[in-house]
Structure 1
Amino acid sequence: MANRYALRMDLPQSWAIIDVFTGQPAVVRQRVMVGMSPQDANALVDQMNIRDVKRRERAERKS
């Protein structure tokens, strides 16, 4: 299953988490995921992809 979220460098040492399906920055709890440190962005993108895979697997089982 393809990852839904990826990292994109906005400026040196400033990263965004992008929804690869839409090409837009991801939004979590009404916060746009831009201007992040490399460490925070890496940790969060992994968590977001894990949650998304679990969500899609649940949806497939229901179909």
Structure 2
Amino acid sequence: MNTRVNETERKRIAAAISVWENEGGAPGQDSMHHQYGRRIEADHSWTIYHVFTGVPARFGGDAMTGLSRMDATSGMLRLNLRNAERRRERIELSSFRAVPELAECGS
């Protein structure tokens, strides 16, 4: 294989990885915990958005738009982690309530 083909293939793979990262990366086993992605806008700023609706995320009343890549990445990870923690708490609470003896102790 010649060098030109290898370079073209490397660029194609790098572009694919970039798209994958912008969508939030690998979802892991509990993909429902990953609801936010990041995308680059036409003005080269970054937006954190809800992956199912495409609507920019809101945090503290502010739309998560006009961000740097680093801020968008860290914000996306924080929002996804916060959602994962909330779901975990709900699952633990529902498991606790499912066992009558434990539910009575908690009352």
Q: Which moved more, 1:52-61 or 1:8-17?
A: 8-17
- Give the distance between the partners of 2:80 and 2:58, measured in 1 at CA: 13
Give TM-score scaled by structure 1 length.
Answer: 0.85
- Give the distance between the partners of 1:13 and 1:42, measured in 2 at CA: 14
2:83 aligned residue: 52
- Give the deviation of 1:23 after TM superposition: 2.2
SS in structure 1 opposite 2:48?
strand
Give the superposed CA RMSD. 1.4
What is the identity percentage for the equivalent residue pairs of Structure 1 and Structure 2?
33
Instruction: Count residues with an aligned counterpart.
Output: 63
2:55 aligned residue: 24
Instruction: Give the number of the structure whose alpha-carbon radius of gyration is greater.
Output: 2
User: Post-superposition, which runs of at least 4 consecutive aligned residues in structure 1 deviate over 6 A?
Assistant: none
* Structure 2 spans left out of the alignment, 5+ residues: 1-29, 95-107
More helix by share: 2
SS in structure 2 opposite 1:11?
coil
More strand by share: 1
